[in-house]
Amino acid sequence: MVPFWNHTVPTLTIKNLPDGLYQRLKARAEEHRRSLNSEVIVCLEQSLGTQRLDPETFLKSAQKLRRRLKSIHLTDRELSDAKRAGRP
């Protein structure tokens, strides 16, 4: 079994981003208490729209993920610490 943190996800690099746009994105991310990366994803989803998920398909994928993660047990404190560590 491949650990869930070993899966690769698409990555996007944005070149020549105007400073003003970067500053607005950064301010918006701080306002929403999100990382800059998360804020960019939200902006893209809002502007491009998101696909509506089929509830049955979503439930099956969630159950599959839950089975894969059965051996991982984290306390609320460990989860909170991990979240806090991910924020600058």
The total domain count for the chain is: 1
Helix or strand run (H / E) with residue 65: helix 55-68
Report the C-alpha gap between 73 and 48 in whole angstroms: 36
Could you read off the pLDDT of 16-73 as tens digits, one per residue? 999 999 999 999 999 999 999 999 999 998 888 877 778 888 889 888 888 887 777 7
Q: Is residue 31 part of a domain?
A: yes
Q: Is residue 77 part of a domain?
A: yes
Range of the domain at 70: 13-85
Could you read off the pLDDT of 51-67 as tens digits, one per residue? 777 888 888 988 888 88
